[in-house]
């Protein structure tokens, strides 16, 4: 199919604007072009050669893009005929003249030197390196770097030219140095997406986004360059001839348009696709195969070693269906900034103790234990209280045992089964999280954040209803039940239920904030304010729950003494002492736990400057 595409391209587009690799041009020795003193040759491409020059009249260094002319004379001059590259240069100059953006290389002027016959553009000189050279240097050992320092090191190793000290630009370098590698990619990609958004808003499509057309200044600022094949979509038919680019970095519909297929079309989303390919290459060091030229679904890149948030953004850029991609550069920039924020929040989490590390490695098991284990001490309190304070006759004991059997046959399937189903849903969602679309991630996050309240509801249903149902059933079946027995059952089940509910909620939130929430951010919708609005309600009950953790056992001890009219037995004294001890231990554990929880929650309240 590739050969057919190339043949179609040659037939339908005589001025070939499509290249795979830079074209080697005849060596031409130039020392001066009009007002410009040639210092060195910077590079060359299919449309001409680029020189570093000094503009004598203004005393500044500039980049001269000299068009590829039809014929060069031995002295460096050219024939006077107008070539396709002349037309492309004028097009580039006209388009770039109106683009004043910090991340787009500026055009200063056009030149046409009569002495040498050289024509071209005078451009802003960026003394750094192109992104292609940086990528090759970063991945020279085939290992994915850990921080943005690797990009800066590659930049320093490959950059050309000397730049003056710029204190304001130094912040760009410091920011990259402080990023993880994935964050650095988000930062660079976001700035480039903003540049595209700026150009697109003015009707200009770049059409040739690739690493070689992206420059990094010595301070790490990305600059979009080489608008050779760009066009104004408000004046040019995006399905007709004259559309160019680099085959390896074209969107499927862009390549189809170049090859003359009826379904081909070029719009802003083609630039989004191409930038996605660049980000993929920067993240992995690998170039993806060229997009198909048929209306087929492209294979979704796995990106297994790339953090999910960044991988999600890249995969959406590379969707073969244009409607599924980011529709504007601004949308893409926002998503990359959001991915950066999510990664920054993850880094800002408090250092993990051994238990926290185990929770992060085993989130489903941790969530299950957090829901179950607090009910164990609650059951011990309930059994101990009933053994000491509630005396039943033989008929009542029989009714009690019957009630235990019947109640558990109903309560465990209802409460335990509901909890198991909820945890299973979360487990299923986490398994498919890598390729989950944004709305699915948002829905899974909401399910996870509701788990604590589900624990409160199910725990309350299981425990508090028992305090009413047990004495009522025993009284109806066996009779001879006074108000004190009713009160003791209600106290025992309420004490146990509150202990189970409070600590189950706090333990579940610890698992959620440590192991789940950091991995459930959706860069397409994430904002700091939005995430905090979801997290903050979880924290509002921390204070009251700490009070309950201490007050419930102590209140139980007071009620025991109040409800007991007889002489205090040894068992009674031990029970009161135990409840007081549980209260003291409970408040210490709850305070320590809620302090940790607040630190974990606060991470999502801070808007780190990206």
How is residue 265 written in tokens? 């079309």
Confidence category of residue 26, pLDDT binned at 50, 70, 90: very low
| Per-residue pLDDT, 474 | 83
pLDDT for the residue 11: 36
Residues 6+ apart with CB under 8 A from 402: 477
pLDDT for the residue 71: 40
Q: What are 70-96's pLDDT values in tens digits?
A: 344 434 444 444 455 555 555 666 767
CA nearest neighbour of 512 among 437, 600, 589, 434: 600
Mean pLDDT, range 206-210, rounded to an integer: 92
More confident residue, 179 or 16: 179
Q: How far apart are the first and last CA of the chain?
A: 44
Mean pLDDT (the chain, rounded): 81
Query: Predicted confidence band at 434 (pLDDT cuts at 50, 70, 90)?
Result: confident
Mean pLDDT of 51-64: 89
Which of 260-269, 291-300, 308-317 ranks highest by mean pLDDT? Answer: 308-317
Task: State how far the Cα of 300 lies from the Cα of 324, in Å rounded to an integer.
Answer: 13
Strand pairing report for 214-216 and 204-205: unpaired
What is the rounded average pLDDT of the residues 86-112?
75
Among 32-46, 190-204, 262-276, 484-498, where is mean pLDDT lowest?
484-498
Nearest to 552 by CA among 501, 508, 593: 501
Residues 16-44, mean pLDDT to the nearest whole number: 68
Class of domain 19-124: alpha beta
pTM: 0.83
CATH topology of domain 129-347: Transferase(Phosphotransferase); domain 1 (1.10.510)
- pLDDT value at position 283? 96
Categorize the per-residue pLDDT at 327 as very low, low, confident or very high, splitting at 50, 70 and 90: very high
- Distance, in Å, from the CA atom of 383 to the CA atom of 398, rounded to the nearest integer, reads 17
Q: What is the pLDDT of residues 163-199, one digit of tens each?
A: 666 777 788 899 999 999 999 999 999 999 999 999 9
Q: Is the pLDDT of residue 357 over 80?
A: yes
Give the model's pLDDT for residue 189: 97
pLDDT at residue 443 in the model: 95
Instruction: Let me know: does 303 contact 284? Beta carbons within 8 Å.
Output: yes
Question: Residues 6 or more apart from 144 whose CB is under 8 A from it?
Answer: 181, 283, 284, 285, 305
Helices (H), 162-267: 167-178, 181-201, 252-258
pLDDT bucket at 578, cuts 50 / 70 / 90: low
Average of per-residue pLDDT across 112-134: 88
């Amino acid at each position: 199919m590739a050969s057919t595409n190339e043949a179609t391209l040659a037939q339908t587009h005589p001025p070939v604007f499509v290249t795979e690799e830079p074209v080697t041009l005849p060596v031409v020795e130039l020392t001066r072009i009009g007002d410009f003193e040639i210092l060195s040759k910077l590079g060359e491409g299919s449309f001409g050669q680029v020189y570093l020059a000094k503009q004598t009249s203004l005393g500044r260094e500039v980049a001269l893009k000299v068009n590829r002319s039809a014929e060069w004379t031995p002295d460096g001059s050219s024939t006077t005929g107008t070539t396709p590259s002349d037309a492309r240069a004028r097009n580039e100059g006209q388009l770039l003249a109106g683009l004043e953006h910090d991340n787009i290389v500026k055009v200063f002027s056009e030149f046409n030197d009569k002495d040498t016959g050289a024509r071209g553009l005078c451009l802003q000189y960026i003394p750094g390196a192109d992104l292609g050279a940086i990528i090759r240097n970063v991945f020279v050992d085939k290992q994915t770097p850990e921080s943005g320092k690797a990009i800066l090191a590659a930049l320093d190793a490959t950059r050309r030219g000397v730049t003056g000290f710029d204190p304001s630009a130094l912040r760009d370098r410091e920011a990259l140095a402080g990023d993880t590698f994935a964050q650095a990619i988000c930062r660079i990609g976001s700035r480039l997406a903003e540049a595209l958004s700026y150009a697109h808003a003015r009707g200009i499509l770049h059409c040739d986004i690739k690493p070689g057309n992206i420059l990094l200044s010595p301070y790490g600022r990305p600059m979009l360059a080489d608008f050779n094949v760009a066009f104004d979509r408000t004046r040019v038919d995006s399905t007709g001839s004259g559309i160019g680019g680099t085959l390896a970095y074209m969107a499927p519909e862009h390549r189809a348009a170049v090859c003359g297929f009826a379904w081909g079309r070029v719009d802003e989303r083609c630039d989004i696709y191409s930038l996605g390919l660049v980000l993929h290459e920067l993240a992995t060091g690998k170039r993806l195969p060229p997009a198909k030229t048929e209306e087929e679904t492209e294979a979704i890149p796995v990106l297994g070693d790339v953090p999910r948030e960044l991988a999600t953004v890249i995969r959406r850029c590379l969707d073969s269906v244009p409607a599924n991609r980011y529709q504007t550069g601004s949308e893409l920039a926002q998503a990359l900034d959001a991915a950066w924020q999510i990664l920054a929040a993850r880094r800002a989490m408090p250092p993990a103790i051994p238990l926290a590390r185990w929770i992060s490695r085993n989130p489903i098991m941790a969530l299950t234990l957090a829901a179950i284990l607090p009910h164990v001490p609650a059951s011990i309190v309930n059994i101990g209280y009933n053994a000491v304070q509630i005396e039943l006759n033989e008929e009542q004991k029989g009714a009690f045992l019957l009630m235990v059997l019947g109640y558990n046959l109903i309560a465990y399937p209802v409460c335990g089964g509901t909890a198991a189903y909820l945890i299973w849903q979360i487990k299923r969602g986490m398994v498919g999280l890598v390729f989950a679309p944004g709305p699915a991630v948002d829905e899974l996050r909401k399910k996870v954040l509701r788990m604590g309240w589900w624990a409160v509801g199910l725990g309350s249903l299981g425990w508090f209803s028992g305090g009413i149902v047990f004495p009522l059933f025993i009284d109806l079946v066996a009779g001879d039940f006074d108000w004190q027995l009713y009160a003791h059952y209600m106290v025992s089940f309420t004490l146990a239920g509150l202990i189970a509910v409070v600590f189950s909620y706090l333990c579940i939130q610890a698992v959620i904030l440590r192991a789940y929430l950091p991995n459930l951010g959706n860069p397409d919708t994430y904002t700091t304010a939005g995430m905090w609005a979801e997290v903050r309600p979880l924290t509002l009950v921390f204070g009251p729950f700490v009070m309950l953790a201490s007050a419930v056992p102590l209140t139980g001890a007071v009620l025991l003494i109040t409800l007991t009219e007889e002489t205090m037995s040894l068992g009674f004294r031990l029970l009161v002492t135990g409840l007081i001890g549980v209260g003291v231990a409970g408040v210490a554990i709850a305070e320590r736990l809620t302090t940790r929880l607040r630190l974990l929650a606060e991470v999502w309240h801070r808007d780190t400057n990206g």
